[in-house]
Amino acid sequence: MENRIIPYGRQDINEEDINAVIETLKSDFLTQGPKVKEFEEKFASYVGAKYAVAVNNATAGLHIGVMALGLKKGDRVITTPITFAASANCVRFVGGEVWFADIDRDTYLLSFEKTKELIESKPKGFFKGIIPVDFAGLPVDLEAFRALALQHDLWILEDACHAPGGYFLDSKKQKQFCGNGIYANASVFSFHPVKHIACGEGGMVTTSSEEIYKELLLLRSHGITKENMSENHGGWFYEMQTLGFNYRITDFQAALGISQLSRNEKGVVRRNEIASRYKEAFNGKIKFQILPENFLNAHHLFVIEVNDRKGLYDYLHENKIFAQIHYIPVHQLPYYKNIGYEMVDLTNAEDYYSKCISLPMYPSLSDEEQFFVIEKIFDFYESK
């Protein structure tokens, strides 16, 4: 036990996954082919969206996501400072302005009230969209955000990278899965190995809008389509209708994704068992992310807040428990500091960042390993 390395997250690759990749390598398709199509269909059906577009990573998905939603140079978009930089960077890729609103101190998610305040402090039309993040796997209350967005004519691009399988019950008690295309215009998922579903690199954009779907398809593949081919054209005919990219994923990565997706539900159940055990151990002693009623946290992360965070981080690392910090607030990263937008008060995010630490959270974490992690955390504070 003492020599075992325990990371904060880890992929789970089994024989079935490996065989699925090998089988695809022996087929006629290496780049985008039938496995990509199958992955898209299965993923769309899993989250309950009409359409899904697989891409080579979630950052690419966010990029073509904001483009498909019509983001242009100078347009302003609101997001949370407690996220991975890519949630904000996608706005910068097209020359847009990133505005941060503060987080909720209990859920660590983009605060609905702070977002509303920020929107209402500016004239109508000032902002174009919102990029809320299902941080740690906890779904954003998109029903509330949707109502706000409709009122102010804004789109919503949900960064659901942490939350495949997460859901909430809306006011009609309907189960709303992250990325189902009901309340967000589009949603983005990541298949980086630390996330729920590992493809090596990979991502998915889901939507229920045919218009957005078609735009995503174009942008993923150089802006090229064959859809206007008529009988007067030869088979080589194609049109480049817009300036797109090569953001395609390979068929063998999609084969891995399909195999991984089939275990996601089990993985989310296991992640919630691990979360329950942490909560039982820490209840009343150590603060952790609050789960609002009627929400299911998909638990990409399990975050606690502590004093002497650096001390605990170092102590855990000495014991080969590789806890991690999520995240350095995006507005404090040098690139964003140097841009120097008019900054609103982000004290919740800054206070959260001074205390947060993410504990090991992945389906293959054993009970024994988890007990060891909990024991070491209490050891650290009792020895002080």
Ligand X SMILES: *Cc1c(COP(=O)(O)O)cnc(C)c1O
CB of 251 to ligand X, least distance (A): 18
Q: Among residues 54 and 346, whose Cβ is nearest to ligand X?
A: 54
d(CA 91, CA 98): 6
CB of 247 to ligand X, least distance (A): 11
363 neighbors 11 (Cβ within 8 angstroms): no
CB of 329 to ligand X, least distance (A): 13
In angstroms, the Cα distances linking 322 to 52, 81, 312, 340 are 34, 23, 11, 34
CB of 236 to ligand X, least distance (A): 34
d(CA 271, CA 162): 12
Tracing tokens 């997460």 back to the chain, one arrives at 166
The binding site for ligand X (CB under 6 A) comprises: 57-59, 83-84, 86-87, 133, 159, 161-162, 190, 192, 203
Q: Among residues 301 and 321, whose Cβ is nearest to ligand X?
A: 301
CB of 184 to ligand X, least distance (A): 14
CB of 108 to ligand X, least distance (A): 12
Q: Among residues 68 and 133, whose Cβ is nearest to ligand X?
A: 133
Q: Among residues 327 and 372, whose Cβ is nearest to ligand X?
A: 327
Q: Among residues 58 and 154, whose Cβ is nearest to ligand X?
A: 58
Q: Among residues 119 and 157, whose Cβ is nearest to ligand X?
A: 157
CB of 133 to ligand X, least distance (A): 5
Q: Among residues 126 and 322, whose Cβ is nearest to ligand X?
A: 322
Sign of the CA dihedral with 247 first, then 153, 297, and 48 last: negative
